[in-house]
Chains A and B, each alone.
Chain A
């Protein structure tokens, strides 16, 4: 289907299925039960899953394939957001103007940064991208205040031109009248499922960009990118120039990041400089490594994993902990709450750090490697081949 082999088609269908049925899958607990706080099926969080999934898929094309670790991709995220909000201010609230612009501008921006940074490899490349991203952040935060509105963040004001704004047009981001922040709710017994327009808009885009990523992975171009990671000396002496390949990968991943940033602003018409900070760049590195760098599905899983735990752990406060441990004697209860307290609520980063360490130490290939190991343990015929990294077997002419 669509030029994919059977395995890749099923991978695409899995992602499509997960994305389309996410409102059900992420809401397994009845709304009034104590476990409802573990539900993730509400619009804001689901949008974040998908947007960061797109961000991570793009980052993985650079990091997973070529091995160049960029610490500056958040800059493209921010650029994408600013583009979309500017289009709201100048044209109207239809996201159709802003998103293509976000992709184009972040492509140009990443071409510039990539052209300079890719003169070096390894740690020097990482530092160069980090420096560029911090420069972009500071530009957005203070120097370019007329464009970015500085620390307040860019938003739409009532005196903005909005030249195409019609009289009946919704006063929030929309796609030809489909308003992003509107939802439909379906109640089935104790369960409540929310279907949000913005989420489905992002999910469709996720499917498209995931499909594009599969095509890139399976193409000769993708093979060349893996060759860059493996042995640049051999590449040079095979008549291939690694630089344009890495630059192309850098620009593609920058475009993915710009699109993700644009979608953030499409969900919520705001753009702030903090989106460009290095912590955001670090987050996408974590997502990609946690899920499995160089695999197709890994970055999406990693993004979902981190965003889910960010949300769940940060919601658990002392009150919730006390209710969990209330069956224990008072002293024990306070002790346990005291022990768990630093790892939840505002301290959820501590838990994330521990989880990340555990994955990197015990599963260097990320969650995807964990899945592979489980599959091997439960299937009688162990699969020797790594399905991600091989072109499809082709019957030879002699056969």
Chain B
């Protein structure tokens, strides 16, 4: 029984069957990659997991509880964090504030009228956020306006914002999209470290095979909305069905 169990999930947009009967099981503390050619339904699947879309059929269970019908913020409070393809951060706020917000969200829940406390007096929260920034080597940038940072820094900040919540499951949507090779390798190292040190389960959607094969322990290949195979990286590499889906080789 995995931490995340997806059973028979289907989603239709008008005449397009974006997902049909997807089954997926993500084991606790593993790194699970979901790959597939363009239009395979990877992003649709991810959106079904975080509450942005509601699947037409099937069930999505996280730690034995259904996430279907819950709002994104409720699903986050259950312990699922999401990293976006283009980093979503609070651009007008400082780096430290960006990390403080998830700290407060974790402590106080989805809404609290803490209008007469002072941020600067929340020492515990500030310490926690600073420790997180040290971990991703951004402590020296804490007062910077986050919108003015490089894309790589924004990605690291977004990662820090997710990690500081100590999620049980981290969903990553093409975390290295548009990155140079050196940045990609840094991100791989960062993710590896996160998985090992913090014991956070990860599900990654990725195009870059280099990233997938360096990180994943299990790989699910999606094509035209249905999973083709689910196996270890070694077995996926030479799998004829995968080659067919990616390269269009007919049998």
Chains A and B belong together in one complex: yes
B91, B102, B106, B130: the one within 8 Å of A231 (CB) = B91
Q: Is the CB of B82 within 8 A of A218?
A: no
Cα A396 to Cα B133 in complex, Å, equals: 12
Q: Is the CB of B111 within 8 A of A226?
A: no
Cα A391 to Cα B100 in complex, Å, equals: 11
A3, A215, A391: the one within 8 Å of B115 (CB) = A215
Enumerate chain A residues within 8 angstroms of B93, measured Cβ to Cβ.
Answer: 223, 226-227, 230, 389
Interface window among A195-203, A233-241, A317-325:
A233-241
- Whether A278 is near chain B, meaning CB under 8 Å from some CB there, is no
* Minimal Cβ-Cβ distance residue in B for A237: B82
Can you list, as one digit per residue, whether each of B97-133 has a CB less than 8 Å from chain A (1) or not (0)? 1001110111011111111111111110011001000
Q: Is the CB of B143 within 8 A of A385?
A: yes
Enumerate chain B residues within 8 angstroms of A236, measured Cβ to Cβ.
Answer: 71-73, 76
CB distance from B121 to the nearest CB of A (A): 8
Q: Is the CB of A3 within 8 A of B118?
A: yes
Q: Is the CB of B76 within 8 A of A220?
A: no
CB distance from A223 to the nearest CB of B (A): 6
CB distance from B143 to the nearest CB of A (A): 6
Cα A219 to Cα B118 in complex, Å, equals: 4
- Whether A17 is near chain B, meaning CB under 8 Å from some CB there, is no
Q: Is the CB of A231 within 8 A of B122?
A: no
Q: Is the CB of A219 within 8 A of B119?
A: yes
Given A231-B89, A241-B111, residue A224 in contact with residue B97 (CB < 8 A)? no
- Whether B189 is near chain A, meaning CB under 8 Å from some CB there, is no
* Chain B residues engaging chain A, CB cutoff 8 angstroms: 50, 71-74, 76-77, 81-82, 84, 88-94, 96-97, 100-102, 104-106, 108-123, 126-127, 130, 139, 143, 161, 165
Q: Which 9 A-B pairs have the closest CB atoms?
A: A239-B76, A392-B120, A221-B115, A391-B119, A244-B111, A234-B88, A241-B110, A236-B72, A239-B105
Q: Can you give 14 contacting A-B residue pairs, CB < 8 Å?
A: A3-B121, A215-B116, A219-B114, A220-B112, A220-B119, A226-B97, A230-B90, A234-B88, A234-B90, A238-B73, A238-B161, A239-B109, A248-B113, A391-B120
* Chain A residues engaging chain B, CB cutoff 8 angstroms: 3, 5, 215-216, 218-224, 226-227, 229-231, 233-241, 244-245, 248, 252, 385, 389-394, 396-397
Given A220-B108, A235-B101, A237-B73, 20 additional A-B pairs, CB 8 A: A5-B120, A215-B116, A215-B118, A219-B115, A220-B122, A224-B104, A226-B97, A231-B90, A231-B91, A236-B73, A237-B82, A238-B161, A239-B74, A239-B76, A239-B77, A240-B101, A245-B111, A389-B92, A391-B97, A393-B143
